[in-house]
Structure 1
């Protein structure tokens, strides 16, 4: 009787209602309850596509996890990215052009920061942008202006045009990804020749995710201070033109009031402050 009970216990304990996974299936046939997985050529409870090379035989959950991880790695990140920048200056000219080192990407935003003393620019052209928008300008002394537009990628050269052939021109062109392609301007301010630090005043943004740009131009000689919380762009010393230019940027993720300022040693300065909305 004890032998019969032991034999019965073995039958109960050793029987599995599901056939074991992992056996080869070169002919594509598997026992009931299993399928031949293309990725491993073995009998599994779930088939895994042959493209999922990281799948683990016999465990569909691990296969799914490896696929999800690959998607997460390739997911794009949001926010503004400075792709490239190029600056130039020229004395006694009615126009000034600069060519980016790499052709801009269609859909990216180009921002031109620059100008010529006393008078505002006539306009900005090129860079694959049909119509440039002037976001802010201050032409009181050295003059600084901020223009922007969405490029179609057809041109790397941007040109600014002055009102006089005797102008000393300064320009910095930057390329950005992540900026909204329509209705991007979320705030702008400008000021000039005030006592104390150089500032454009303040802007109050209405969009939670913006790129804030702050630029100052001054007659030389001049020494600029540092600006905490912002990242500096390429500065132009004004060795040819007698006008030096500095600019900074900052990405913000909440609405608020922004009024950056920087110390200067020459009071003949102009400043601009602009906020551009980032793409959702």
Structure 2
């Protein structure tokens, strides 16, 4: 059984893999984990290898929501489950977290602290149903609460790693936000590092919130406001869907949406306390 993830260095995916392996090993399957590192050609090679090896199934968080690799799995008759972003053309089993709840809760939390200029980082440069859903939720909230959306506060990023966070700081500061919502906590840590290098501190100068967490979020000195993601449950749910698809190939496609309640920590503060 194959698991193809975006970034093996992100501890979130290690926990997802652990959950999937637990379920699959109990069913007699071994899990092979590969990381495409947000490189479409690398993902294509990994999927082709899994097809050539006649993998029993594949769990995939795809590079984009239009990947041809998904259709390749369909043509090969290999059961698969998509994580996070859906495919825009190919129906499939799908496991995701509640996108609307945590983002709305985060926006409401920041607005209650007095923030009006709230920036958001979104995956850009490739189709992503997750990014587009988050954008729609963000724009709707900002229009309803503040009457308008400032496009300068929407930062599209090709990658969501530490270096990308650091590199995004000049554009972020140019938009003059008092708070920013990062796509995940690895990106948030990069933003934090870049802000500190620019002489800004969190949350005194700018409140920081992430939409996907790892164990790093709660560490002293980081204390990042973020939703609690049931990471092992994501992997376990995907594994169960794969096993169900193997057992009944023509069963209706299923989407599992897991809750992700916001955990408020020290990285967010009222505008009067800083930014």
TM-score, normalised to structure 2's length?
0.26
Q: Of Structure 1 and Structure 2, which has the larger fraction of its residues in strand?
A: 1
Larger C-alpha radius of gyration, 1 or 2?
1
Of structures 1 and 2, the one with the larger relative CO (CA 8 A, separation 6+) is: 2
TM-score, normalised to structure 1's length?
0.26
